[in-house]
Amino acid sequence: MIAAHRPEQRPPDARLLVVDPLGRITHALRSQLVDFLRPGDLVIANDAATLPASLHGVHVRSGAGIEVRLAARSSLEPRDIHAFMAVVFGAGDYHTKTEDRPPPPRLAPGDRLVFGSAAGDVDGRRVAGNGGRPLGATIETLLDHPRLVRLGFGGPADAVWNGLARHGRPIQYAYVSDALALWDVWTPIAGLPAAFEPPSAGFALDWRSIRLMRERAIGFATMTLAAGISSTGDPDLDRRLPFDEPYRIPATTAAAISRARAEGRRIVAVGTTVVRGLEHAAALDGVVRPGAGVADQRIGPGRPLRIVDALLSGTHEPGGSHYQMLRAFLDDCTLADADAALDARGYRTHEFGDSVLIERMARAGTAAAVPQREDGMAA
């Protein structure tokens, strides 16, 4: 696959690979997505807006430049904005590959960090900044890795939000050459600012596709989950991903899921974050109830799905936690066939890339009714 390097959410040539319950593969344009949905389906998307979670500043004790990437917090409450898990890098920016970024200076509990400070003295050290009121933070705890800390912001919640808006930028990786703006990483349905990286499967949606769903008796609902970061640049730390992710399921969404399941209709998740949130909510007894929770599980081949029947997702390279989730939908042979088809056709990967729509494979001895398209091309 090829890395998508342009920050364009809905390019007209974006493609969609579809895998049906029998493992058959079809190639289409992503603009045809609704044609692969069925009347009665319930489509659920993550409406989290993306935080400006990359902060450049100074480690005050050493005077060294740093980048902090906020990576997790304990809840979605807007006033609960003071404490984060964060990954700290040395000086540099997204133009350098994440895995090649230098480590931060030696960190210790109590160290002060200053983001966006005006040029001047901070605790007796001369630091340079980009103007405006600075945003300060303190390292509260080291979290068993040189780059991973628990970070605390002081002051009123409004001041922290203002500081993030003033000095933060979207987390970005080297394969996208142009600096990202917030509107590049907000999906069309973005609401509460909660995600650390965009729930990018939602880039495939627009108001036209949602209108078509309504016209074709396809349900649409949302939930909010704080989508986490996709890479830390360190293999050991990457193996811990995804970090715990808080979520909230509205009462209307929980009721719609209950009705759809009672009537034998499909639940189609837009993005792996939706799968993680819904499956966590139903882990106790198979029922999705409204309210808040924290998704702390990993989903893969050893964890059967209880709620989600189909997944719209970006393309994922083998090895990551997102790819492991695909193994809960497809057996390894079919997933290998899908990978080969993506590679052979040059599909684009990462958040601005192409998409896949996969349905859970039929169990042995059962049949699945799979609608056929006359214009689909079998792989």
Classified as helix, coil or strand, 201 is helix
At 138-172, the pLDDT tens digits run 999 999 999 999 999 999 999 999 999 999 999 99
Radius of gyration over alpha carbons of the chain, in Å? Answer: 21
Q: Which of 367, 102, 39, 56 is nearest to 234 (CA)?
A: 102
Nearest-angstrom CA–CA distance, 3 and 18 = 20
Sign of CA dihedral 34, 213, 194, 8: positive
Nearest-angstrom CA–CA distance, 72 and 225 = 11
Q: DSSP letters along 20-45, please? A: -TT--EEEEEGGGGGGGS-TT-EEEE
Nearest-angstrom CA–CA distance, 21 and 52 = 39
**What is the predicted pLDDT for the residue at 120?**
38
- In this structure, the number of other CB atoms found within 10 A of the CB of residue 264 comes to 7
At 113-139, the pLDDT tens digits run 999 854 333 334 444 444 568 999 999
Count of residues in the chain: 379
Q: Confirm whether 2-50+178-378 and 54-169 share one CATH topology.
A: no
Q: Which of 3, 6, 43 is nearest to 256 (CA)?
A: 43
**What is the predicted pLDDT for the residue at 131?**
53
At 166-195, the pLDDT tens digits run 999 999 999 999 999 999 999 999 999 999
CATH architecture for segment(s) 54-169: Beta Barrel (2.40)
**What is the predicted pLDDT for the residue at 257?**
98
Tokens representing 142 are: 């080291």
**What is the predicted pLDDT for the residue at 302?**
80
Classified as helix, coil or strand, 337 is helix
Q: How many CA atoms lie within 13 A of 177 on its CB side?
A: 2
**What is the predicted pLDDT for the residue at 4?**
86
Classified as helix, coil or strand, 144 is coil
**What is the predicted pLDDT for the residue at 1?**
67
Nearest-angstrom CA–CA distance, 330 and 139 = 42
Domain ranges within the chain, ordered by starting residue: 2-50+178-378, 54-169
Nearest-angstrom CA–CA distance, 46 and 41 = 17
Q: What is the pTM of this model?
A: 0.90
User: What are the residue ranges in the chain where pLDDT is below 50?
Assistant: 118-130, 363-379
Q: Which of 2, 142, 127, 157 is nearest to 66 (CA)?
A: 127
**What is the predicted pLDDT for the residue at 322?**
79
Pick the CATH number of 2-50+178-378 from 2.40.50.320, 3.40.1780.10, 3.20.20.70, 3.30.300.20: 3.40.1780.10
Tokens representing 99 are: 């895995």
- In this structure, the number of other CB atoms found within 10 A of the CB of residue 135 comes to 24
